[in-house]
Chain A
Amino acid sequence: MAVHNALEALSLRPTVFLRSPWPWRSLAYLLCGALIGWATVVAVVALLIAGTLLSVLVVGFAGFVAVVLSGIVVARLERRRLRLVDVADLPDPHVPVTTPGVRAWVRVRLREEVTWRELGYAALSAGLLCWMDALVIGGVGYTIIALLGAPWFIDDEPLSNTLPLAMLGVPLTVVLAYPITAWAGARAAMARAMLAPRTDERLVEVTRSRARLVDAFEVERRRIERDLHDGAQQRLVALSMQLGLARLELPAGSPAAEPIAAAHELAKQALTELRELIRGVHPQVLTGRGLAAAVGEVASTAPLPVDLDFDLPGRLPPAVEVTAYFVTVEALTNIAKHSGASRAAVAARLVGGRLLLEVRDDGRGGADPSAGSGLVGLADRAAVLDGTVTVSSPPGGPTVLRAEIPVLSGEERS
């Protein structure tokens, strides 16, 4: 059986356990535990005294902050120390601080829940655990020395009485490896419980970074849209206008008339294509007028009639609008391409702080959303906002796509 920590080691066969390094590791763990605990007491008391004395000056405040943050140091030592009795790594739950400077670092740390848990651990360690470490080591040490050293220390008893005591000390010393290892294991489990990253801390961080990524994509799309609008589109409009003017200037029957007309036509086609491209990157009306207006524009260009039923109290957060918009566009595109429907309907309303979006059609159904459609990507995007996209498409129809996205402001989300 593979043993990962001191507690598991206790379940080994005694012959294996006693020959293993676990008792010695446990002993070392408890020894340095006691020393660190005492050092913490001394350091914290010193900081508090310094802070109180200097509190007439503002710098004294730093002493108190340092006390609060001392848990971080204690916890960092504890994580390293823990490897003595626990093979499994204990990851650092703190978020990395990207802003340079001590103030920024302190601000981030003070806001983290784990900082306060670590302070709690430091207090528990300095106030109770290190004393118990000392007590266990002291008790075990005293018992061993008292028994083994009995022939030397006890001189008013005959050797026939003290020698058996010393003989008894040998197996007892071996047996005492168990309480040492047990306490070390229990203490390590406690430390792990208090200092391990909470799963949701990691999750929140991952979700935040994904949301940041989506936001960054959106910012980038808007930049591309702006650049295309300010650059290529302007030039194509000007080109098309110049070609139009050139056509007017040509004398009737000029051999240049035909190629210039063709060039004019090509310029106009390029403009049309560019317009569609830009709209697909980021529709201006979505930023300007919101989801209902933007979906209305899409519906009016759809190749089949689309009924709209929007009941929204006002503008939604940009990330929600963009996601809901592209979900709708993708759904309507799929309907037009695959469903054979004669009619589609888009409905959106807010229920209990969630945007409920529904796109349905009267087509033949049997749609497989996983079959390489853009919907999977959109479902991922909705998931970043803690939203879901579900599709129900029984053979024979109707196909109903539902998206649910929580509507929270960016503040609330992060």
Chain B
Amino acid sequence: MNGDPGAVRRGAAGTGLRVVIAEDGLIVREGVAGMLRRFGHEVVAAVGDADELRAAVGEHRPDIVVTDVRMPPGFSDEGLQAAIDLRAADPDLPVLVLSQYVEQTYAAELLDSGHSAGVGYLLKDRIGEVTEFVDALSAVAAGRTVVDPEVVRQLLGRRRDPLHRLTGREREVLALMAEGRSNAAIARALVVTEAAVAKHIGSLLAKLDLPPDADDHRRVRAVLAYLRG
């Protein structure tokens, strides 16, 4: 989720992803499909419920699945369940789940459902942040973990006792780490050098007794697991 549209446009040149979209609202479904096509991705299927989603994934073997949590027939969490099932059936399938609300419960269930391919949990509103949304899609497709800033904000609010040992800047870095951003993206967001980011990360991991880990992906999981207590 970095704010650099140029990166995405470059993606449009040839690295388009094959995407399956599941969303029951026609306007949003077609809108997202149109937006992704504009950024050079190929929407191989756009479906309206969880069963169609399962069928479409089986048929098209997409690079990534984008699904709404809430879909027919029960309008409960059919999309989330489908996403979890799909991840269980194919650990290499990246899944980006869009939720109407920030539900820690749903985010936790999704993040705990597998540990291999990329996974993302974003508030549906983020679709409006066009470039950030498309970047997040690419990040998840590339195997990264993307967590909505709102989820992270709530998690940080919950675990304030041990976090007060962090400096303000370290807390900012922690929040961005938890959202799944890379060191380079964090450096861009905070307008500092990558070396400075690495120093902050080392320091905050030590304060929180978390193991230093060069792998962004594993590090995100560790931070999220820590925040969720």
Contacts and interface: CB of A to CB of B under 8 A. Distances in A.
Interface of A: 226, 229-230, 233-235, 237-238, 240-245, 247-248, 264, 267-268, 271-272, 275, 278-279, 283-285, 287-289, 293, 296-297, 299-301, 305
Contacts of A300: 104, 154-155, 157-158
A296 B28 CA distance: 29
B75 interface: yes
Contacts of A248: 5, 130-131
A271 B154 contact: no
B3 to A, nearest CB: 12
Nearest to B5: A248
Given A241-B28, A241-B127, A288-B77, 11 more contacts: A229-B75, A230-B25, A234-B28, A240-B125, A241-B35, A245-B38, A268-B125, A284-B77, A285-B106, A289-B103, A297-B105
B27 to A, nearest CB: 4
B76 A297 contact: no
A304 to B, nearest CB: 9
B104 A272 contact: no
B58 interface: no
B32 interface: yes
A279 B128 contact: no
Contacts of A245: 35, 38, 130
Contacts of A278: 100-101
Contact of A268 (B38, B76, B128, B161): B128
B70 interface: yes
Interface in B140-187: 154-155, 157-158, 160-161
Given A230-B25, A238-B28, A284 B101 contact: yes
A226 B75 contact: yes
B5 A289 contact: no
A264 B106 CA distance: 28
A284 B104 contact: no
A241 B104 contact: no
Contact of A241 (B103, B128, B160): B128
B215 interface: no
A79 to B, nearest CB: 51
A242 B105 contact: no
Interface string B124-143: 11011111000000000000
A75 B13 CA distance: 89
Contacts of A289: 77, 103, 105
A278 B70 CA distance: 14
18 contacts: A230-B24, A234-B28, A237-B25, A237-B31, A237-B127, A238-B31, A240-B128, A241-B32, A241-B35, A244-B128, A244-B129, A245-B38, A248-B130, A267-B128, A284-B77, A289-B105, A299-B158, A300-B155
A297 B103 contact: yes
| Residue with the highest number of chain A CB atoms closer than 10 Å, among B70, B75, B128 | B128
A278 B100 CA distance: 10
A297 B104 contact: yes
Contact of B100 (A272, A284, A297, A299): A284
A300 B154 CA distance: 6
B101 A285 contact: yes
Contact of B124 (A237, A264, A283, A293): A237
Contact of B70 (A229, A238, A242): A229
The 7 closest A-B pairs by CB, nearest first: A240-B128, A244-B130, A234-B25, A300-B154, A293-B105, A238-B27, A288-B76
Nearest to B32: A241
B154 A301 contact: yes
A224 B164 CA distance: 41
